[in-house]
Amino acid sequence: MNDFEFYSPTRFVFGRGVTDAVGQHVAELGYKRALLVYGGGSVVRTGTLARVKESLAKAGIEFVELSGVRPNPEVASVREGIAVARENDVDLVLPVGGGSTIDCAKAIAFGVFHDGDVWDFFAKKAVIEQALPLMCVLTIPAAGSEGSSSCVISNDSIDAKFGVNSDLIRPKVSFLDPELTFTLPAYQTAAGVTDMIAHICERFFSGTGSSEVTDNIATGIIRTLINQAPVAIAEPENYEARANIMWSGTLAHNDLAGCGLNAVPTSRAGGWESHALEHQLSAFDTSITHGAGLAVMMPAWMRFVWREDPNRFLAFADLVFGIEPVDETEEAVEDAVTAAIDELQAFFAELGMPTKLGEFGLKPENIDSFLATLKANKGEVFGGFKKITLEDARVIYESAF
Amino acid sequence: MNDFEFYSPTRFVFGRGVTDAVGQHVAELGYKRALLVYGGGSVVRTGTLARVKESLAKAGIEFVELSGVRPNPEVASVREGIAVARENDVDLVLPVGGGSTIDCAKAIAFGVFHDGDVWDFFAKKAVIEQALPLMCVLTIPAAGSEGSSSCVISNDSIDAKFGVNSDLIRPKVSFLDPELTFTLPAYQTAAGVTDMIAHICERFFSGTGSSEVTDNIATGIIRTLINQAPVAIAEPENYEARANIMWSGTLAHNDLAGCGLNAVPTSRAGGWESHALEHQLSAFDTSITHGAGLAVMMPAWMRFVWREDPNRFLAFADLVFGIEPVDETEEAVEDAVTAAIDELQAFFAELGMPTKLGEFGLKPENIDSFLATLKANKGEVFGGFKKITLEDARVIYESAF
């Protein structure tokens, strides 16, 4: 087990109707004026936004609003939110939505304290040293941003989708009401579950070690998702399925699943290769849902790298799918590992996720664009499990068509 | 899945040599004068206390000391610590030791703000509303106090051992260095692991529900402990075994393993029946190690109550031991449940834990004393999985001889 720090200070308020308790929690922590951040579609349609506003009003909390945050949130929204936050002197940022909305809110929370442009943080020209407190109302379980230190923002002008991490942007309180996810379409449900599994796999295949207790927890979460996701898709109002998925999504990304796998104690475990490969797709075409991109790129990455440490993949095969090699020959190991990756990809496909990049309308000639932004983001070589060169990345992208 | 709140704000600093980073963390959080709390035996002998003091001195942190805290800490030590804390105007309480030392430190942390006697909190005549911040250096993994909201103190004058809970006494930072546990004797190692498993079982058998993801996590931790404890006892300096046990002990009791099982959202899951039955033993004879008492009382409680919800015990049998009933008959269910309880008790025995109360030198005629303090503590009826009357408790105690 590697040395690590684990710090997940968020209070998670989980269950039926917790949306109506937002104002009370804001008041208890002494905040006075919130910036509500949201997309605009479903949270308005379903009445969730109205419930949050009513809850704030009842508790005597003032609020201003930033709406129109899109999936793969763009830095322009962040800039707009920073301006609103400054003009109104808010003391809390309160996103209502999924990971995109929460990430936009996080960038606003640290951007308000920066004299320059907020993109400086993503371009590594500035470091997060201060942030407004955040509270989240989660409506799309997927990104785990409600408990994570991470924030990913797109910049369309340079086809970039970059991330930053800081403990300062872990939310104070996150409200998780599984009933809010009853209306989530099957595709979004599936993409969310894929993202959760990817968050665990990025850590599991960190390339820097293992820990029995962390491995048992991590694969226990994946097995839950594999059991519950088909139920939630078949019965969208199945509370148990929705609740298990929602809480799994938080635990998949609050760093619990990486304890003991970190390269250095204060780092996040893993090289995040699948995420890096996917981010270039949704940076190229912002209509691509992150989880759907991962459903294609993660198995492709796994097939490319597993020989680097077959035992780690055998542990995954056993703990997640109960697949063991029939003997110790190289062939049996390859069969077992391949069977596990096949099972994982088949599971994504059964949920309705794509298996090939062509299904997004992408073409092999787009690979040069992916590689250009990958290089700008990650440099010539990246990865923790196995060093991936740009030429390796080309091979992985090609294999995904 | 029941509604719940999960809040574990402690920063866990885990790994080799983290003891030497204590001063730096204290300084970073801006504290100036700490009350060091410790027992006196092993932390002095092994040099751990000296390392902590050196680390504090290097960081320019002043400190005063309370030593001599015993296992099953007595309220007199707490009172002494409160006096020292007040006289020296400390702004941090810093226990170095196991659960007893940490619990004593916690009681000092909230006791300093109370005008009356600190026992008022345990007698339910006062409520924790304020506490000094705590940081812990853990040397005996068992009680989970390094991440928990709980604090258990004995009062010899009334043969009582009572607990309180508050989020205000969750440590700010806990330092977990598995190498410090290399010198832990086999008996203490075994008793600690038993306590950890009990912490998970108390929640698992809460009687108020289940959650697939929590069940997978909880039983994954138990399986880790069952694998790693014999290794740590056979090879006391096996780092992986010690590290897995140490981190498992924290996760067994920071409330992660109870998410979705709570009776009410802000409660802790479970009726804590085995703990209640055991506390009367170590209140009666303070030389009884809590975990060793649990090794006897928990299986005895399980055999008494399992018929209340056989399916919950079947889930435990399957997820922990892979034991399934051969068919759906009542007999097959009983066989499977009994086999699982037998396996659990055999595991404790293999670690060197007692299986009968006589091994502590206790006698059946002591049961009246256990019942008297149980009644004072829990009333006529207690329990979440099944309501336990004092007559039931007598039957369970008798079965444990």
Task: Pick from A172, A217, A266 the residue to mutate for testing the B interface (most B CBs within 10 Å).
Answer: A217
Global pTM? 0.97
Contact B3/A9, CB-based, under 8 Å? no
Contact B247/A211, CB-based, under 8 Å? yes
**Interface membership of B224 toward A (CB under 8 Å):** yes
Residues of A within 8 A of B239 (CB-CB) are 1
Question: Which of A184, A177, A192 lies closest to A12, judged by CA?
Answer: A177
Residues of B within 8 A of A12 (CB-CB) are 4-7
pLDDT at A113: 98
Residues of A within 8 A of B5 (CB-CB) are 11-14
Residues of A within 8 A of B219 (CB-CB) are 220
Cβ burial of A120 (10 Å; 0-12, 13-18, 19+) is middle
Residues of A within 8 A of B24 (CB-CB) are none
Minimal Cβ distance to B5: which of A13, A212, A260: A13
Shortest Cα–Cα distance, B91 to chain A (Å) = 21
Contact A18/B3, CB-based, under 8 Å? yes
Distance (Å, rounded) from C-alpha B319 to C-alpha B330?
Answer: 20
Phi, psi (rounded to 5 degrees) for A159 = 50, 40
Shortest Cα–Cα distance, A150 to chain B (Å) = 17
Contact A14/B259, CB-based, under 8 Å? yes
Q: Are A7 and A168 in contact (CB under 8 A)?
A: no
Which residue(s) pair with B154 in the sheet?
Answer: B74, B161
Q: Kindly report, residue by residue over A344-368, the tens digit of the pLDDT.
A: 999 999 999 999 999 999 999 999 9
Distance (Å, rounded) from C-alpha B32 to C-alpha B20?
Answer: 17
Both tokens of A158, joined, read 């340079």
Contact A11/B11, CB-based, under 8 Å? no
Minimal Cβ distance to A247: which of B14, B221, B259: B259
Contact B221/A216, CB-based, under 8 Å? yes
Mean of the pLDDT values across residues A67-78?
Answer: 95
With CA atoms as reference, the chain B residue closest to A11 would be: B7
With CA atoms as reference, the chain B residue closest to A209 would be: B240
Inter-chain contacts counted by CB atoms under 8 A, chains A and B: 125
The CA–CA distances, whole Å, from A86 to A36, A83, A89, B242, B322 equal: 14, 5, 5, 50, 58
- For chain B, which residues score pLDDT lower than 50? none
**DSSP string for residues in A208-277:** S---HHHHHHHHHHHHHHHHHHHHHHHSTT-HHHHHHHHHHHHHTTSSGGGTT--SSTTSPSS--HHHHH
Minimal Cβ distance to A247: which of B219, B227, B260: B260
**Interface membership of B219 toward A (CB under 8 Å):** yes
Contact A220/B224, CB-based, under 8 Å? no
Distance (Å, rounded) from C-alpha A284 to C-alpha A372?
Answer: 10
Q: Are B200 and B270 in contact (CB under 8 A)?
A: no
Q: Are A318 and A325 in contact (CB under 8 A)?
A: no
**Interface membership of B6 toward A (CB under 8 Å):** yes
Q: Kindly report, residue by residue over A213-257, the tens digit of the pLDDT.
A: 999 999 999 999 999 999 999 999 999 999 999 999 999 999 999
Q: Kindly report, residue by residue over A163-205, the tens digit of the pLDDT.
A: 999 999 999 999 999 999 999 999 999 999 999 999 999 999 9
Task: Pick from A2, A6, A240, A259 the residue to mutate for testing the B interface (most B CBs within 10 Å).
Answer: A6
pLDDT at B286: 86
Shortest Cα–Cα distance, A268 to chain B (Å) = 14
pLDDT at B185: 96
Label residue A290 left, alpha or beta by phi (over 0 means left) and psi (-120 to 50 means alpha): alpha
ipTM more than 0.95?
yes
DSSP 8-state symbol, A52: H
Q: Are A113 and A129 in contact (CB under 8 A)?
A: yes
**Interface membership of B266 toward A (CB under 8 Å):** no
Mean of the pLDDT values across residues A5-24?
Answer: 98
**Interface membership of A332 toward B (CB under 8 Å):** no
Q: Are A93 and A108 in contact (CB under 8 A)?
A: yes
3 state SS for B18-31? HHHHHHHHHHHCCC
pLDDT at B159: 81
**Interface membership of A265 toward B (CB under 8 Å):** yes
Distance (Å, rounded) from C-alpha A391 to C-alpha B130?
Answer: 59
**Interface membership of B262 toward A (CB under 8 Å):** no
Both tokens of A240, joined, read 């148990």
**Interface membership of A256 toward B (CB under 8 Å):** yes
Contact A265/B13, CB-based, under 8 Å? yes
pLDDT at A40: 81
Q: Are A190 and A352 in contact (CB under 8 A)?
A: yes
Residues of A within 8 A of B13 (CB-CB) are 5, 265
Minimal Cβ distance to B220: which of A1, A220, A265: A220
Q: Kindly report, residue by residue over A84-137, the tens digit of the pLDDT.
A: 999 999 999 999 999 999 999 999 999 999 999 999 999 999 999 999 999 999
Range from A33-37, A40-44, A104-108, A194-198 carrying the lowest mean pLDDT: A40-44
**Interface membership of B346 toward A (CB under 8 Å):** no
Q: Kindly report, residue by residue over A294-315, the tens digit of the pLDDT.
A: 999 999 999 999 999 999 999 9
Provide the angle, in degrees to the nearest 10, between the axes of the packed helices B330-350 and B310-321: 50
**Interface membership of A368 toward B (CB under 8 Å):** no
pLDDT at B268: 87
Q: Kindly report, residue by residue over A167-178, the tens digit of the pLDDT.
A: 999 999 999 999
Residues of A within 8 A of B178 (CB-CB) are 1
